[in-house]
Amino acid sequence: MKNTVVVGAQFGDEGKAKITDLLAQEADFITRFQGGSNAGHTVVVEGKKFAFHLIPSGILYENKICMIGANCVIKPDDLKKEIEDIINQGVKKEQFEKCLKISPLAHITMKYHTDIDGLNENTLGKNKIGTTKKGIGPTYTDKYARCGIRVEDLFNKETLSKKLDIILPKKNKELEFIYDLKPYTKEEIMEECECYRKILAPYVDFNWQENLLNIKNNKSILFEGAQGVMLDVNYGTYPYVTSSSPTAGGAAFGASMGPMVIERAIGVFKAYMTRVGEGAFITELTDETGEKLRQIGGEYGVTTGRARRCGWFDAISAKYAVLVGGLSEVALTKLDVLDSFDEIKIAVAYKNKSTGEIMTNYPTDVFVHNNLEAVYETHKGWKTDISKCKNYSELPENAKKYLKRLEELLGIKITIVSVGPDRNQTIFI
Ligand code: GDP
Ligand code: IMO
Ligand code: MG
């Protein structure tokens, strides 16, 4: 298999994990390259449903190395629970010990990061971002402010102690005077870190440089993204974004291997769109059509259980995601969710409600989005159950027309179509 990146190309929850799990069959090494347990990734194998948050979706195969990469953030107690939940579903403990690797450079989400995330959201009130409250933003903030704690620090008490002497006085001021939270003693943080060390110890790959070199030279690699391009901190609907880079470019640095390794970048798009959390969503449907998409698509968050906002496919933001996300092909998921619709719409332009101006380029200032409405073209539905289709030729003509039109608008090929949650409900074109 060519070294492949799989990224979400909308607002997350596009069905990336299903695609990653599927492609993982052909890969030797699967690596998550950004994000943390804000992600909720569902894999369905023969009707059995698994939920992943931080663990790469390739973990269900034996003999594949699954790595949590350098640009990920880890909340060790969440990871512990995630592993336990999967073990309870029948995956062997030894499978994790053998296959799960963690980069020593990944950053740790401390208790105070989760507290700060929650408090920031409460303070913002109606202007909140709608985060998952998993401490993601505050962990990346500390990383870039050069006062984070990395996985490797947990394994060197001397380094950790020196670092805390620098970090903690400032952090305590922030906790006390900005957030009205209790300050920590150095001993308390050392104790918290010791618990985390014990959790992570079986998985940390201190020999990662040699191992990655070997993998780069001899193995096939699958890079697994979380979130989606429109939630990217650089290119998404800023500030209503996550704090990392879920693009093919992000994969290159996040997995410690650089851009020359990547040969294929698959953008996963839903056949319609969803979003959880706040922020503009120009094609959002707040009527019964939106509710119908939510019910048929089962659009409720895996991590927070929140109802996802639903709307039609937005080809303007999609074309933008192809560009900035560095995408070379499309996996289109949940086409079956549209089976019963008489009409299916695609946004092909935006209209400024005040001036009437028509735009076909994506405006990056999201504060103007409220003044924009979608200009739609309407396609006839196929009104047929496609969930058992195995080949492109079996798809109804109107479904094929819809796919062709999306390809035309995005300028890249659709190579995978998903017609149900299970591994085998997939059409390769
Ligand atoms: P991810 O975060 O991008 O991996 O996606 P999620 O797991 O959060 O959400 C996708 C949901 O859609 C999950 O419940 C999947 O099992 C389901 N799903 C994935 N592909 C399909 C599909 O083609 N059809 C249907 N009906 N469900 C799908
Ligand atoms: P997967 O990988 C959908 C959203 C949150 C919020 C914003 C910032 O399952 O597609 P954060 O907690 O990251 O600081 O929240 O990003 N968000 C997601 N939305 N799917 C996800 O992951 C998400 N991860 C974060 O809802 O709007
Ligand atoms: Mg998800």
Residue 156 has pLDDT above 90, yes or no: yes
Tell me, yes or no, whether 240 and 330 share the same domain: no
Q: Where are the alpha helices (DSSP H) in 15-110?
A: 16-24, 76-88, 93-99
The ligand whose atoms approach the alpha carbon of 14 most closely is 1
Containing domain of residue 175, as a range? 107-200
Tell me, yes or no, whether 281 and 246 share the same domain: no
Residue 389's pLDDT is 98
Residue 232's pLDDT is 98
281, two tokens: 């969503």
Count of structural domains, the chain: 3
The mean of the pLDDT values for the chain is 97
Is the shortest distance between the CB of 421 and ligand 1 below 6 Å? yes
**Residue 186 is part of a domain; what is its CATH number?**
1.10.300.10
Is the shortest distance between the CB of 137 and ligand 2 below 6 Å? yes
Tell me, yes or no, whether 182 and 312 share the same domain: no
Catalytic residue among 21, 28, 41, 287: 41
Strand extents, DSSP E, 225-364: 264-270, 273-275, 309-311, 313-314, 329-333, 343-352, 358-359
Q: Ligand 1 centroid to 107 CA: how many Å?
A: 28
Q: Give the predicted TM-score (pTM) of the model.
A: 0.97
Tell me, yes or no, whether 257 and 383 share the same domain: no
Residue 428 has pLDDT above 90, yes or no: yes
Give the CA dihedral 139, 54, 265, 50, nearest 10 degrees: -150
Residue 302's pLDDT is 82
As a whole number of Å, the end-to-end CA separation of the chain is 16
Tell me, yes or no, whether 273 and 353 share the same domain: yes
Q: Ligand 2 centroid to 49 CA: how many Å?
A: 21
Q: Ligand 1 centroid to 298 CA: how many Å?
A: 9
Among the three residues 149, 176, 200, which one is the final residue of a domain in this structure? Answer: 200
Please state which of the ranges 229-233, 298-302, 419-423 shows the lowest mean pLDDT.
Answer: 298-302
Residue 209's pLDDT is 98
Q: What is the average pLDDT across 179-183?
A: 95
Confidence of residue 304 (pLDDT cuts 50, 70, 90): confident
Q: What is the average pLDDT across 86-99?
A: 95
Residue whose tokens read 């191992």: 211
Say whether 369 is catalytic: no
Tell me, yes or no, whether 90 and 126 share the same domain: no
Q: Ligand 1 centroid to 44 CA: how many Å?
A: 9
Residue 303 has pLDDT above 90, yes or no: no
Q: Are the C-beta atoms of residues 52 and 44 closer than 8 Å to each other? A: no
The ligand whose atoms approach the alpha carbon of 277 most closely is 2
Q: What is the average pLDDT across 159-181?
A: 96
Q: Ligand 3 centroid to 411 CA: how many Å?
A: 26
Among the three residues 266, 292, 307, which one is the final residue of a domain in this structure? Answer: 266
The residue whose CA has the least distance to atom 6 of ligand 1 is 13
Tell me, yes or no, whether 277 and 402 share the same domain: yes
Backbone CA torsion sign across 304, 237, 411, 33: negative
Tell me, yes or no, whether 341 and 275 share the same domain: yes
**Residue 98 is part of a domain; what is its CATH number?**
3.40.440.10
Residue 281's pLDDT is 97
Is the shortest distance between the CB of 333 and ligand 1 below 6 Å? yes
Is the shortest distance between the CB of 226 and ligand 2 below 6 Å? yes
The H or E element spanning position 364 is none
Tell me, yes or no, whether 276 and 253 share the same domain: no
Is the shortest distance between the CB of 15 and ligand 1 below 6 Å? yes
**Residue 321 is part of a domain; what is its CATH number?**
3.90.170.10
Residue 24 has pLDDT above 90, yes or no: yes
Q: Which of 95, 69, 59 is nearest to 5 (CA)?
A: 69
Say whether 13 is catalytic: yes
Tell me, yes or no, whether 291 and 379 share the same domain: yes
Residue 324's pLDDT is 98
Taking every pair of Cα atoms in the chain, the longest distance, rounded to a whole number of angstroms, is: 67
Residue 85 has pLDDT above 90, yes or no: yes
Q: What is the average pLDDT across 377-403?
A: 98
Is the shortest distance between the CB of 244 and ligand 1 below 6 Å? no
Tell me, yes or no, whether 309 and 415 share the same domain: yes
Among the three residues 200, 216, 233, which one is the final residue of a domain in this structure? Answer: 200
Confidence of residue 125 (pLDDT cuts 50, 70, 90): very high
Tell me, yes or no, whether 170 and 315 share the same domain: no
